[in-house]
A and B are shown apart, each in its own frame.
Chain A
Amino acid sequence: MTVIETKDLVKIYNENTSFPVKAVCEVDITIEEGEFIAVIGPSGSGKSTLLNMIGGLDRPTSGTVIVGGQDLSELNDSELIKFRKMNIGFVFQSFNLIPVLTTEENIEFVMNLQGVPKDRRKSRTMELIRQVGLEDKVNKRPSELSGGQQQRVAVARALAPKPKFILADEPTANLDSKSAFALLDMMATLNKEERITFIFSTHDQRVIDRAKRVITLVDGSVESDVVQ
C-alpha cells in the first residue's frame, strides 16, 4: 500500500528575489508501507527540505505531496497541524523532548493532544517504554537521560499515536556509536515486526548500511533510488 507519493515536487526559496534557491527539483517518489528508507546526499542537497514537505512542515512551490491518499496542498494550516498530529511521527536530530515532562509524559504527549482516553494512553505508553527498553527511566526528565536514551524516548513519542510513517531527520547525528547502533537496531526491529515505515535523512553510513532503500539527492534532484 502506498503511504507517500510526491509528484513534480519543487521547492524554491527566495523565489521573488534576484537570488532564488532551488532546494528541491521535480522530485517524484513513491513510498510503500513498511519501507525503511534513507534519504542521503551532501549538505544542501535538499534532504531536509524534502522531508519537511513530506511531513507537512513546509509547503512546496509546486507539485504535490499525497500522504495516505490526502493531498497536503489542499489543507490549510490548522488542518495540516491536525493531519500531522494524526498521521506523522517526527524524530529530530537534537531529540527535542519537552524538558519539563518525564519519559512517560513525553511519550504520552501526542496521544494526549489526540484526545486518546487515559487508560489506553497509559497502556500504549508502557508498551512503548518496554519496546525502547527504558522501563527504569519512566519518571526521569530529559535532562536526566543520555543522548541515546533521549532519542529512544523521541522514537517512542513518534510511534505512540501509531502514525502512518516516521520521519527522522538525522536521528543518529548526536549519538555515540553504541547508542546509534542500539537505536538503529530498535527501529529496524519495529520496522520488521510492526511494519512501521521509517524515512531518514542522514549522512551517517551506519544508517545507510541498515536502510533497505537509499534515495540519493544531489542539488535537489533524485540522483539514484536504490533498493538494497
Chain B
Amino acid sequence: MIASLAWRNIWRNKTRSLVVITAIALGIVSALVLDSFYLGMVKTFIKDSINKTTAHIQIHTPAFLEDEDVRYVLTRSDLILADLDSMAGVQASTSRVIVNAMMSTSRTSLSLKVKGVDPQRETGVSDLRPYLVEGDYFEGEMRNPILISTLVAEKADIRMGAKVVLTFQDMTGEITSGLFRVSGLFDTGSDIVDQSMGFVAKEDLIRTIDPTGHHEENFDHEIAILLDDINAVTPMADRLNKSYPDIKAETYREISPELDLYESQIDTMTWFYFLIIMAALIFGIINTMLMAVLERYKEFGVLMSLGMARIKLFVMVILETLSLCLTAAPIGILLGLLVIYILSRTGIDLSMWSEFLEQYGMASMIYPEINPTSFRRLIIAIVITAILAAIYPAWKAIRLNPLDAIRKI
C-alpha cells in the first residue's frame, strides 16, 4: 500500500515530477556519455600505443631489457617466430634489430633509437605507412633507406633524400658507422616514436652491426606480437615465458606501466564527475521533495491521526524519491546508450586541439565506448543519490506533530 501511495503521490504534480525526472535522466545521460568518452579516450590511447610502439607482447632477452646492448640477441628468434605463426590467436608477429645510434648529418648530430625491421612482417604488427608524410615504406630502389619523423628531420635540418651517418656499437663491441639515406618522413602523432625513432630495413642494419655474418639467421633483439584478442595477452605472455625460459615476454601493460596510471587517473576523474553530477541532482531532488512534503503537511497530519506510524511515513517519502529516480534511470540509460551509439559511429572530432592532444599521445578522434562497469557504478550512484536526497524531506515529514499539521490549513 505504501509503495502504491508513493507512486500515485509523485504524479499529483505531473509537471514538477516530469521536470525532476528529466533532470535526473539528463544527469544520467551526461554521466554515461562522459564515462564512455573517457573510456573511448583510454582505449584509443592504448590502441595507439599498441599499434605505434608496444604491440600486445614484446619478447627480448632479459639482459637486453637491463642494458640495450647490441650483443644481447634472441638466439632462437626464427624458432619463436615459426612457433608464433602456427599459434591460434596470433594475428601477426615480427622481429626487430634495435640499436641506439648517433645520427649525424653535415650540420648536426642527435641520438636516435634505430629499429631494423622486416618490412613485410612489420606492417602486420605496426604499420607506419598511414603516417608517412613523404616518401615510401622501403619500396624504392634506394640503398640503405631510413625513415625518420618530420620532427627529427626538422631538428637535424634535413629533407627527403638526405644522407645521414648512423654510428653505433657492433657485435664485437667496436664503434661502427653506416651511411643511410632518408627515404621517408613520418608523423605518427606519438612523441615516443616521433622524437626518438628511426626505421631501417633489418638486413641493412645487420650488415653493419655484424659484418662477419655469423648471426644472420638469428639476429634479432625484439619480437613484437599482435593478438586477435587483447584479453588473451597475459595468458599468451605466460605461455611464451614457460615455453622459452631464456627469454622474457612482456605484455603492453608491463612495457608501458603509464597506461595503468593513465587508466586509473581517468577512472578517478570519471568518479569525480559522477560525484559532481550526483551532488547537483541531490540538491535538485531535495528541493522538489521538500516542496512536495511541505505542501502536504496537513495530509501527513491526517495520515498520522489515522494511525500511520512515523516510520511508514518516512518510508513513503523515501519511496516517492526512489520512484522518481528509478523512473528517470531507465530513460536516462536508454537515452545515454543511444547517444553513445551515435557518437561511437560518428566519433568525436577534437582535431582543433590536436596539437595539444598529441603532446599526450592522444588521438584527435575519439570513439566513445560503452563501459559495462559504469552501469553498475551508475545504478549504485543513483540509489545512493535517491536515498541521500530523500532523507532530509522524509525526516522533515516525520518530525511534524499531527495536531499542528491538521491545524495548518
Instruction: Identify the A interface with B (CB < 8 A).
Output: 52, 55, 57-58, 77-78, 81-82, 84-86, 90, 92, 94, 96, 98-101, 109-110, 112-114, 157
With A94-B409, A96-B298 given, is the CB distance from A85 to B403 under 8 Å?
Answer: no
Complex contact B308–A113 (CB within 8 A): yes
**A85–B302 Cα gap in the complex (Å)?**
12
Complex contact A100–B5 (CB within 8 A): yes
Complex contact A57–B1 (CB within 8 A): no
Complex contact B299–A98 (CB within 8 A): yes
Q: Is the interface of B mostly helix, strand, loop or mixed?
A: helix
The one of A100, A114, A157 that contacts B12, using a Cβ cutoff of 8 Å: A100
**A211–B90 Cα gap in the complex (Å)?**
97
Q: How many A-B residue pairs have CB under 8 A?
A: 58
Complex contact A84–B302 (CB within 8 A): no
Give 24 A-B contacts (CB < 8 Å), ordered by A residue: A52-B403, A57-B305, A57-B403, A77-B310, A78-B309, A78-B310, A81-B309, A82-B307, A82-B309, A85-B306, A85-B308, A90-B306, A96-B299, A96-B406, A98-B5, A98-B299, A98-B302, A98-B303, A99-B12, A100-B5, A100-B8, A110-B307, A113-B308, A157-B306
**A196–B93 Cα gap in the complex (Å)?**
94
**A55–B302 Cα gap in the complex (Å)?**
13
**A200–B378 Cα gap in the complex (Å)?**
55
For chain B residues 348-366, which have a beta carbon within 8 Å of chain A? none
Closest to A86 in B: B307
Binary CB contact string for chain B from 292 to 333 against chain A (1 if under 8 A, 0 otherwise): 000000110011111111101000000000000000000000
Q: What residues on A are CB-neighbors of B12 within 8 Å?
A: 99-100
**A213–B308 Cα gap in the complex (Å)?**
32
The one of A84, A96, A101 that contacts B307, using a Cβ cutoff of 8 Å: A84
Q: What residues on A are CB-neighbors of B309 within 8 Å?
A: 78, 81-82, 113
Q: What residues on B are CB-neighbors of A100 within 8 Å?
A: 5, 8-9, 11-12
**A90–B306 Cα gap in the complex (Å)?**
7
**A26–B203 Cα gap in the complex (Å)?**
115
Q: What residues on B are CB-neighbors of A52 within 8 Å?
A: 403
**A110–B302 Cα gap in the complex (Å)?**
11
Complex contact A112–B306 (CB within 8 A): no
Binary CB contact string for chain B from 1 to 45 against chain A (1 if under 8 A, 0 otherwise): 100010011011000000000000000000000000000000000
**A117–B312 Cα gap in the complex (Å)?**
18
Q: What residues on B are CB-neighbors of A98 within 8 Å?
A: 5, 299, 302-303
Closest to B10 in A: A100
With A99-B12, A100-B5, A100-B9 given, is the CB distance from A109 to B409 under 8 Å?
Answer: no
Q: What residues on A are CB-neighbors of B402 within 8 Å?
A: 57
With A57-B402, A58-B403, A96-B298 given, is the CB distance from A101 to B306 under 8 Å?
Answer: no
Complex contact A84–B406 (CB within 8 A): no
Complex contact B406–A92 (CB within 8 A): yes
With A57-B402, A94-B409, A96-B298 given, is the CB distance from A85 to B307 under 8 Å?
Answer: yes
Complex contact B307–A112 (CB within 8 A): no
Closest to A99 in B: B12
Nearest CB of chain B from residue A84's CB, rounded to whole Å: 5
Complex contact B305–A109 (CB within 8 A): no
Q: What residues on B are CB-neighbors of A94 within 8 Å?
A: 409
Nearest CB of chain A from residue B8's CB, rounded to whole Å: 4
15 further contact pairs, Cβ within 8 A, besides A55-B305, A112-B1: A77-B310, A78-B310, A81-B308, A82-B307, A84-B307, A85-B306, A85-B308, A86-B307, A90-B305, A92-B302, A96-B299, A98-B299, A98-B303, A109-B306, A113-B308
Complex contact B307–A81 (CB within 8 A): yes
With A52-B403, A57-B403, A98-B299 given, is the CB distance from A84 to B305 under 8 Å?
Answer: yes
Closest to B409 in A: A94
**A100–B306 Cα gap in the complex (Å)?**
16
**A8–B378 Cα gap in the complex (Å)?**
61
With A57-B402, A98-B299 given, is the CB distance from A81 to B8 under 8 Å?
Answer: no
Closest to B8 in A: A100
Nearest CB of chain A from residue B65's CB, rounded to whole Å: 72
Q: What residues on A are CB-neighbors of B308 within 8 Å?
A: 81, 85, 113
Closest to A167 in B: B305
Closest to A52 in B: B403
With A52-B403, A98-B5 given, is the CB distance from A113 to B299 under 8 Å?
Answer: no
Q: What residues on A are CB-neighbors of B299 within 8 Å?
A: 96, 98-99
Q: What residues on A are CB-neighbors of B305 within 8 Å?
A: 55, 57, 84, 90
Complex contact A110–B306 (CB within 8 A): yes
Complex contact A113–B302 (CB within 8 A): no
Q: What residues on B are CB-neighbors of A85 within 8 Å?
A: 306-308
